[in-house]
Chain A
Amino acid sequence: MKAEMGIELWRTKYHTINGFKQFYRDWQPRDETYLPVLALHGSLTHSGMWIALAEAADSIRMLCPDQRGFGLSEDPGNDSCAEFALDALALGRELLPERYVVMGHSFACSIALEVAHMAAGQVAAVVLIDPVVHTGTPSAAPTEASAPLLRTFATLEEAERHFRETEEGEWAGDMLRCFVQDTMMHDSESGTWRFPYTPARLHRLRAFTSSPENDYNLFKKAEAVRCPCSRFAAV
């Protein structure tokens, strides 16, 4: 979180939903001039991935939950796309006006499309940020190419180095440092940095999304939605 003035515009809270305690952060700009956005993080991050974007965009309200088992939210133990979507819908119903936009990153693009399908009357549009497509047979290993080494980093610099070495993209200036600070969990006692999930949690999700039972099929979900969609693609 960079701007001091931005802190007061973030509301952070827990609420109990679908049987578990979920953490969320809600960017509420003074001058809200766009439809609010329900922003769903990918499987390597948590709600912190939206901090810099919300603050830079300024005038877009962004409601950003830590999805089940990530960040500060509890893990109720089911990883189906439908369950994630129901969590998001319940949060949106409680905190957002009647019409809003759903934005998903990575594996959460399937969740965003599922939300749009389940609540066509509420979801005005969908934004997809670099979705993941699983290739090969259903039993093949997940294709998320840069699975992190599941470990703790002694310093922020070490965590930055990990992302620079494993992730594509041009991280200019202090972008990577901001990203790592916003998306990793810092232990103030030991000073270490860790990923915002346990290894077991991530492995369980990946096992499910690559299993024959998984319900994350992007194409089927794309066919089912009728609202406008914007898709951000990496090249």
Chain B
Amino acid sequence: MSKRFPLTTEQPFLQAFTPEPKLVVCPRSGHFPTATESESVIEELKRFLVR
């Protein structure tokens, strides 16, 4: 899990939104998924931006 975001905080955080956000898990990323998993970030970003 991220050192900056406690696992127990995830669900309450998502539920604070209306509508609930799409959660994209980056299993290898660390704090900088834009650098370590850029391909999957871009793929999801493009999918999201056409909404």
Chain A residues proximal to chain B, CB less than 8 Å = 34-35, 37, 42, 49-50, 52-53, 56-57, 59-60, 101, 105-106, 125, 127-133, 135, 143-146, 167-172, 175-176, 178-179, 218-219, 222-223, 225-226, 228-235
Q: Are B45 and A60 in contact (CB under 8 A)?
A: yes
Which residues in B have their C-beta under 8 angstroms from that of A101?
A: 49
Which chain B residues border A219 with CB–CB below 8 Å? Answer: 12-13, 16
Instruction: Kindly report which residue of chain A lies nearest to residue B15, judged by CB atoms.
Output: A222
Could you pull out 11 A-B pairs where Cβ atoms are within 8 angstroms? A34-B50, A49-B34, A56-B38, A56-B39, A56-B42, A101-B49, A129-B41, A168-B2, A222-B16, A231-B22, A233-B2
The 8 A-B pairs of least Cβ separation, nearest first, read: A169-B30, A145-B3, A168-B30, A229-B21, A222-B16, A234-B2, A34-B49, A179-B35
Sample of 8 further A-B pairs with CB below 8 A, known A168-B29, A170-B29: A60-B46, A106-B31, A146-B3, A176-B35, A230-B45, A230-B48, A231-B24, A234-B30
B residues near A52, Cβ cutoff 8 Å: 34-35, 38
Q: Which A residues are CB-close (under 8 A) to B38?
A: 52-53, 56
B residues in contact (CB < 8 Å) with A: 1-6, 9-10, 12-14, 16-19, 21-36, 38-39, 41-42, 44-46, 48-51
B1, B2, B23, B51: the one within 8 Å of A228 (CB): B51
Q: Which of A59, A60, A130 is within 8 Å of B33, CB to CB?
A: A130
A235 to B31, CA, bound (A): 9
Say whether A234 contacts B44, CB under 8 Å. no
Q: Which chain B residues border A53 with CB–CB below 8 Å?
A: 34-35, 38, 41-42
Contacts of B41 in A (CB 8 A): 53, 129, 232
How many Å lie between the Cα of A131 and that of B25 in the bound state? Answer: 13
Residue in B9, B29, B46, B49 whose Cβ sees the most chain A Cβ within 10 Å: B49
Given A145-B3, A232-B26, A235-B1, A49 contacting B21 (CB threshold 8 A): no
Select A169's contact among B18, B36, B45, beta carbons within 8 Å.
Answer: B36
Chain B residues, CB < 8 A from A57: 42, 45-46
With known contacts A125-B49, A219-B13, A230-B22, A105–B2 Cβ distance under 8 A: no
From A37, A42, A125, A235, B26 is in contact (CB under 8 Å) with: A235
Q: How far is the CA of A219 from the CA of B10 in the complex (A)?
A: 11
Find chain A residues with CB under 8 A from B9 CB: 133
